[in-house]
């Protein structure tokens, strides 16, 4: 048994697999082209179900277990659906191939990584504009220095990001997209640093709250709040001090020459953040892709006012996937409600609901309509 020879064979199989995956992706884009013509929805879970059943049976014949086959193909199908959606959206809103994107922090921050993923799926190159805070991200787009801004809006460990909700109340920018990223928090140090000697950990406040359980385990270690995860990594890298550590992603650590010493630090095993993309102009969402419309409204303090507003959605058959509230600046004890509705703004149901909401609310505004990027995997029945 010659190890080198076996590894050469494995390399060949892997490169064949990649070529096949690329070919599959190409074919699914042809499917998107056909759906564009006959206006069929991108997602067809019945077809996915049949595919999985067939593949599990085929896999079994080759000695591959069902779970492995299902997991692999759920990933492949997720890519295919996201690509098709992005392609259709691009066709509807023809725009430039090079886009300027404002994000929090510097290269390697979570927002930066989310932006890279979002635009790579759309075959767009980005000019990066790192900003010191969320307000400047919004301002960069408002003033035309960036085409898009990317903002984290909620996280599975720490919940809503209030600062971003508050900024949305005050801007004329529209939400034009969303993306969900797995956020793998790691403890990063200079290569070879002694973990026992760490006396300071740098991290963004959101990150510290998402990793609070893990951080309770360090006694006598100072936590330094940073404006972004990129700043946290830069502090450690620039200091060249082995007693300093940062919490950020592995991909970010690679950019700053830092080593992963502990991984999966978040309180929730599935630590994911949802980011929104904002732009000066609204985008149209093709009818074939699942759309979400985000609204803000103030109902006034009349008893039952919120219930009445929500009944409008119910009566129009609309599904609300999120409801959150924030205080209104200058109006103590009044709340502004943020709603995500699973519908296209151009749909009859949504238009009807909006016309019914206007007379019964004090204020209602559409923050944007965008394609939903959350692809829940089809499970084998
Ligand atoms: C490619 C298609 O679109 C989607 C993606 C699928 C896939 O990647 O196999 C299957 C069904 C659809 O949800 C299709 O409809 O065939």
> CB of 83 closer than 6 A to ligand 1?
no
Q: Give CA–CA dist 140/84, Å, rounded.
A: 30
Task: Report the nearest-CA residue for atom 1 of ligand 1.
Answer: 28
**Domain span at 256:** 186-262
Q: How many domains does the chain have?
A: 4
Together in a domain, 33 and 79:
yes
- Angstrom distances, CA of residue 208 to CA of 133, 228, 238, 357: 17, 11, 21, 39
pLDDT score of 183:
86
**Structure letter (DSSP) for residue 291:** E
Q: Is 100 assigned to a binding site?
A: no
Residue 30: inside a domain, yes or no?
A: yes
84 and 159 part of one domain = no
Cβ neighbours, 10 Å, residue 321: 11
Question: Torsions phi, psi of 104, nearest 5?
Answer: -80, 130
Per-residue pLDDT at 94 = 62
107 is in an annotated binding site: no
d(CA 374, CA 43): 12
State whether 117 and 87 are in the same domain: no
- Same structural domain, 160 and 175: yes
Considering only CA atoms, which of 114, 263, 245 is closest in space to residue 184? Answer: 263
Cα of 178 vs centre of ligand 1, distance in Å, is 21
The complex scores an ipTM of 0.95
Compute the half-sphere exposure of residue 90: CA atoms within 13 Å on the CB side of its CA: 18
The whole-model pTM stands at 0.80
CB 202 within 8 A of CB 226: yes
CA 44–ligand 1 middle distance (angstroms): 6
Q: Is 24 annotated as a binding residue?
A: yes
Residue 377 lies in a domain: no
Residues 235 and 300 in one domain: no
Q: Is residue 380 part of a domain?
A: no
Last residue of a domain, one of 92, 123, 149: 92
Q: Determine the Cα–Cα distance for residues 194 and 172; give it in Å rounded to an integer.
A: 49
Q: Residue 195 belongs to a domain with what CATH number? A: 3.40.190.10
Looking at the chain, list the stretches that DSSP marks H as alpha helix, in order from N- to C-terminal side.
3-38, 45-61, 66-92, 110-120, 134-142, 162-170, 205-210, 212-215, 229-239, 250-256, 305-315, 348-360
Phi, psi of 222 (to 5 degrees): -85, 135
Does 239 map to a domain?
Answer: yes
DSSP 316: T
Q: Write down the number of H helices and E strands in the chain.
A: 12, 15
Q: Quick one: 256 and 321 in the same domain?
A: no
CATH number of 14's domain: 1.20.59.10
| pLDDT for the residue 95 | 65
Indicate whether 151 and 210 sit together in one domain.
no
Q: Is residue 352 included in any domain, yes or no? A: yes
Helices (H), 62-187: 66-92, 110-120, 134-142, 162-170
Task: Verify whether ligand 1 is closer than 6 Å to residue 78 (CB atom).
Answer: no
Assigned domain for 376 exists: no
CATH number of the domain residue 361 falls in: 3.30.70.260
- The answer to whether residue 197 sits within a structural domain is yes
Q: What pLDDT does residue 130 have? A: 93
**317 alpha carbon – ligand 1 mean position (Å):** 27
Q: Give the per-residue pLDDT at 374.
A: 79
Walk along the chain (381 residues) and give the pLDDT tens digit of each residue: 899 999 999 999 999 999 999 999 999 999 999 988 888 889 999 999 999 999 999 999 999 999 999 999 999 999 999 999 988 888 776 667 889 999 998 888 889 999 999 999 888 999 999 999 999 999 999 999 999 999 999 988 888 999 999 999 999 999 999 999 888 999 999 999 999 999 999 999 999 999 999 999 888 899 999 988 999 999 999 999 999 999 999 989 999 999 999 999 999 888 899 999 999 999 889 988 999 999 999 987 778 889 999 999 999 999 999 999 998 888 877 889 999 999 999 999 999 999 999 999 999 999 999 999 878 889 988
217 and 173: one domain? no
Whether residue 267 is contained in a domain is answered as no
C-alpha–C-alpha distance, residues 77 and 40, integer Å = 17
Judge if 130 and 146 occupy the same domain.
yes
């Amino acid at each position: 048994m010659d190890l080198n020879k076996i590894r050469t064979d494995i390399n060949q199989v892997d490169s064949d697999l990649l070529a096949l995956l690329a070919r599959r992706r190409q074919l699914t884009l042809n499917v998107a082209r056909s759906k564009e013509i006959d206006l069929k929805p991108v997602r067809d879970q019945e077809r996915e179900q049949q595919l999985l059943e067939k593949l599990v049976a085929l896999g079994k014949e080759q000695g591959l277990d069902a779970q492995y086959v299902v997991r692999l193909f759920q990933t492949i199908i997720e890519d295919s659906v996201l690509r098709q959606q992005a392609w259709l959206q691009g066709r509807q809103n023809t725009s430039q191939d090079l886009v300027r994107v404002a994000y929090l922090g510097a290269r390697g921050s979570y927002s930066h990584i989310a932006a890279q993923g979002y635009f790579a799926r759309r075959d767009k190159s980005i000019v990066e504009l790192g900003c010191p805070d969320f307000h400047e991200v919004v301002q960069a787009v408002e003033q035309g220095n960036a085409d898009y801004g990317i903002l984290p809006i909620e996280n599975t460990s720490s919940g809503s990001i209030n600062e971003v909700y508050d900024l949305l109340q005050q801007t004329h920018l529209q939400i034009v997209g969303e993306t969900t990223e797995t956020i793998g928090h790691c403890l990063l140090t200079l290569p070879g640093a002694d973990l026992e000697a760490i006396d300071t950990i740098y991290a963004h406040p959101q990150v510290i709250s998402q990793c609070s359980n893990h951080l309770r385990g360090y006694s006598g270690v100072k936590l330094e709040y940073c404006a972004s995860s990129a700043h946290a990594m830069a502090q450690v890298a620039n200091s060249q001090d082995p007693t300093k550590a940062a919490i950020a992603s592995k991909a970010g650590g690679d950019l700053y020459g830092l080593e992963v010493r502990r991984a999966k630090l978040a309180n929730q095993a599935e630590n994911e953040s949802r980011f929104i993309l904002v732009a000066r102009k609204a985008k149209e969402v093709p009818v074939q892709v699942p759309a979400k419309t985000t609204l803000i409204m103030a109902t006034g303090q009349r008893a039952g006012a919120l219930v009445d507003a929500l009944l409008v959605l119910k009566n129009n058959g609309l599904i609300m996937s999120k409801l959150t509230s924030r205080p209104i600046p200058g109006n103590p004890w009044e709340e502004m409600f943020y709603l995500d509705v699973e519908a296209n703004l151009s749909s009859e149901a949504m238009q009807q609901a909006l016309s019914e909401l206007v007379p019964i609310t004090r204020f209602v505004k559409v923050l944007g309509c965008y394609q939903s990027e959350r692809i829940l995997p089809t499970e084998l029945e």
